[in-house]
Amino acid sequence: MLYLDVSKKPRERAKDLLSRMTIKEKAGQLPQRLLGFKAYTYENGKLTLTDEFKDEVRRCCGLGTLYGLYRADPWSQRDFSNGLVGIEMKRAYNLAQKYVIEHSRFGIPMLTSSECPHGHQALDGYLLPPNLAIGATWNPELAHKAFAVCARQLRELGVDFALISMLDVLRDPRWGRSEECYGEDPFLAASFAETVVNACQEKGLAVVAKHFCAQGETTGGVNASAARIGIRELQEIHLAPMRACCKASVQGVMAAYNEIDGVYCHANRVLLKDILRGEIGFKGLVMADGIAIDRLDTITGSPLRSGALALSCGVDIGLWDESFSCLEEALHQGLISEETLDESVLRVLELKFSRGLFEHPYLDEETPKDFSYGKYPESLEISRQSPVLLKNLGILPLKDKKQTVALIGPNSDAIYSQLGDYTPPQREGVGKTLLMGLQEEMGDRVHFLRGCATNNDDSNDISYAVKLANECDIVILALGGSSSRFAGATFDSNGAAIISGAAQMDCGEGVDCCEVKLPGNQEKLAEAIFETGKPVITVIIAGRPYAVNEVIKRSKAVIYAFYPGPMGGKALAEILTGKIAPAGRLPVSLPKSAGCIPCSYNYKASANLAENPWLYPFGFGKTYTCFELSDLKYSGEVLLSDLEKGGKALIQFTVKNIGNYDAYAVPQLFVKRIGGSVVPRVKELKAFCKLFLQAGEKKDCSLEIGREELASFTVNMAWELETGEIYFSLEEGAEVYADGSFIIK
């Protein structure tokens, strides 16, 4: 039989196998039910497959994809007492895989998919700071190294698909999933998306890039709400990360919950077929989001019709929904054709052959390798390079060895408030909070009191915090938010958080807000501390941009750390004490207030804003030194014909560290078109780099931009180059160092 011939190409083998399968067997390859962490019980050291898992395998005559076998979090109710750890992870995989193969007429193995938004969502999973922190590093090369570590761990455990957020562009900071975005800019987001796909797939881990498309636009910051945009906003802002993923030959993409101009993404044939496959050239599998196909019932009236609609519009694999379990019946009723069904099944089978699952379906049952933060420092390095210094009136770094420090605030000693949403339980002693980091750097000079809770009306300790502040020389105020599901959250049918009165979450999936201010009584705490007259350094640890005008005004220094990850406390302490210099730049603008939203820096020139809506703009960030950019060279003219052939416009310059601290510089090239057929944006990021410079050191640098960066989505509704003037500014930390213009002829 051809499908067993390893000398044949995966597609040939898949076609042959497909031709031998019944409708029932084909339809059974496409559902992806919520079975992974429900597939087993682990009691008294014994692993057993559940009846629920076995029933699904029998119903499907095998299994297409198993989601979340290793998932551990409050929703799955898996922890170190009943979840999979160490060698039991491999044993559970083999047990499930063996059952699937034995109950498939052709011995078809299953694929596995796992969440990896910022590392493996499993017990002892290697975690990174969430995406907004990664975006703040402005260092895609570092992200590549870090996700390569995650990919190695996932592959050792047999994971085929890593579900990774990378397509959402943050356009409304009220959205609870802000932390899952690389930032508000399409070019920055695309740069990280491409490198993360490459990092994972180079290690043999296929990526499902999510979410497609425009979920970060929102209506009023509400999760899964309408993206009320037209095709031009879609093209200019939200498709860029997907185009970048396709450059990296991404093998999967997840459709988004939202609708665009009235059409749900899961039922959007133009989006999933004409744009994604036709225009962008995507070749892989389209996966649904959790129960998203069932939500189409609002327009179809039944799961049967919802499944048929989604499949017909380009969705290949379901996720937790009932609808894709009805595909066999949908075909019998004429709602889909066998040709349509075959198209998706063929993609699933081809992937299984290409990954070698038919020949090597099982894992070695050796103890998994050590993926500790000590052995793999990439997570710590992201923690070091992501915090953004917003303000410093000469108080940082802390050099006086005699000063006593009052560390006050709810995020002083809260490891889960550093980690973001989609986080597994952590072992006791793993990770470093800010308190731990400062104690390591400053010893018993650090005195700690929480002061108030993160996100409720608990203010009983404010008076004690004031007393502590008065007794110390300086105050470090650790404020911000939390996406921790480990205190008070309940869960929706798709795993999104539902917040009760006791919950500390103010961010994360399902946790949207009307305001963008510090939650709970934190502003009250800050006011009381400021009134002491003590010098205050504020550290904000958060998953979204806040409007923190008063905190900025009254603090001597402010560091903004988008959830800095498990080693974030160590990194922040190193920055505060001057062991390293701040290296982050804002990946998203900080609004002055909720009323100023939208506040993205790259608004249309037609807006005619009276004043900027942001407190600090995209790209802003200070450090402990100063940089000098000099010797600017660029061409005054660029031929359109050369650009069409792959030519580039080159901007060359020299960067020098003219201060006393070793530090990173982040040169950023912004452009603006003058003229053209459509209204331009006031500025758009089109190139950047990150350079480490020792004190007094200088380096030559060049940034190049070509057709992709200079084309406009014109009145012809196509990406075209137009002749005319291009104005550019060369910036570092939102300070303009040089500017100029060139002509496209």
β-partners of residue 56 are none
Q: What is the predicted pLDDT for the residue at 220?
A: 94
User: Which residues, other chains included, contact 651 with Cβ-Cβ below 8 Å and sequence gap of 6+?
Assistant: 632, 633, 634, 669, 687, 702, 703, 704, 705, 728, 730
What does the pLDDT average to over 90-114? 98
- Give the residue-averaged pLDDT of 94-123: 98
Note the pLDDT tens digit of each residue in 664-674.
999 999 999 99
Task: Taking residues 685-711, report their average pLDDT.
Answer: 97
Distance CA 64, CA 355 (A): 14
Residue 604 dihedral angles phi and psi, to the nearest 5°? -75, 145
- Kindly indicate the confidence band of residue 44, based on its pLDDT and cuts at 50, 70 and 90: confident
Asked if residue 380 lies in contact with residue 545, where contact means CB atoms within 8 angstroms, the answer is no
How does the average pLDDT of the chain come out, rounded?
Answer: 96
This prediction has a pTM of: 0.97
pLDDT tens profile 237-279: 999 999 999 999 999 999 999 999 999 999 999 999 999 999 9
pLDDT at position 456 is: 77
In this prediction, residues 738-742 reach a mean pLDDT of 94
> Is the pLDDT confidence value at 713 over 90?
yes
The residue-averaged pLDDT of 547-557 equals 98
pLDDT of residue 289 exceeding 80, the answer is: yes
User: Which of 429-443, 488-502, 708-722 has the lowest average pLDDT?
Assistant: 488-502
- Report the pLDDT value the prediction gives residue 401, as an integer from 0 to 100: 87
Res 501: pLDDT? 63
Say how far apart CA 419 and CA 119 lie, in whole Å.
Answer: 10
Please tell me the predicted confidence (pLDDT) of residue 694: 98
Q: What is the pLDDT of residue 543?
A: 97
Is residue 389 scored above 70 in pLDDT? yes
pLDDT, position 455: 86
What is the Cα–Cα distance from 338 to 65, expressed in whole angstroms?
Answer: 21
Q: What is the pLDDT of residue 447?
A: 98
Among the ranges given (76-90, 303-317, 433-447, 496-510), the one the predictor scored with the smallest mean pLDDT: 496-510
Q: What was the pLDDT predicted at 154?
A: 98
Q: What is the tens place of the pLDDT at every residue in 148-190?
A: 999 999 999 999 999 999 999 999 999 999 999 999 999 999 9
Q: Are strands 663-665 and 46-49 parallel, antiparallel or unpaired?
A: unpaired
Question: Measured between alpha carbons, how far is 523 from 540 in angstroms, rounded to an integer?
Answer: 12
- C-alpha to C-alpha distance for 528 and 525, rounded to whole angstroms: 5
User: What pLDDT does residue 232 have?
Assistant: 96
Confidence of residue 392 (pLDDT cuts 50, 70, 90): very high
**Strand-pair category, 627-634 with 649-657:** antiparallel
pLDDT at 502: 61
> What are 421's two structure tokens?
């949403």
User: Has residue 405 got a pLDDT over 70?
Assistant: yes
Question: Is pLDDT above 90 for 35?
Answer: yes
If pLDDT is split at 50, 70 and 90, which confidence band does 126 have? very high
Cα 282 to Cα 253, 285, 735: the distances in Å are 9, 9, 38
Q: Which residue has the higher pLDDT, 20 or 45?
A: 20
The answer for residues whose C-beta is within 8 angstroms of residue 557's C-beta and 6 or more apart is: 389, 391, 392, 393, 395, 396, 537, 538
- Taking only the tens place, the pLDDT of each residue in 193-220 is 999 999 999 999 999 999 999 999 999 9
Q: What is the mean pLDDT of residues 571-579?
A: 98
Nearest Cα to Cα of residue 683 among 631, 607, 630, 744 = 607
Sign (positive or negative) of CA dihedral 572, 576, 582, 585: positive
Closest CA to 196 of 137, 161, 248: 248
Per-residue pLDDT band for 346 (boundaries 50, 70, 90) equals: very high
Is the model's pLDDT at 707 over the cut of 70? yes
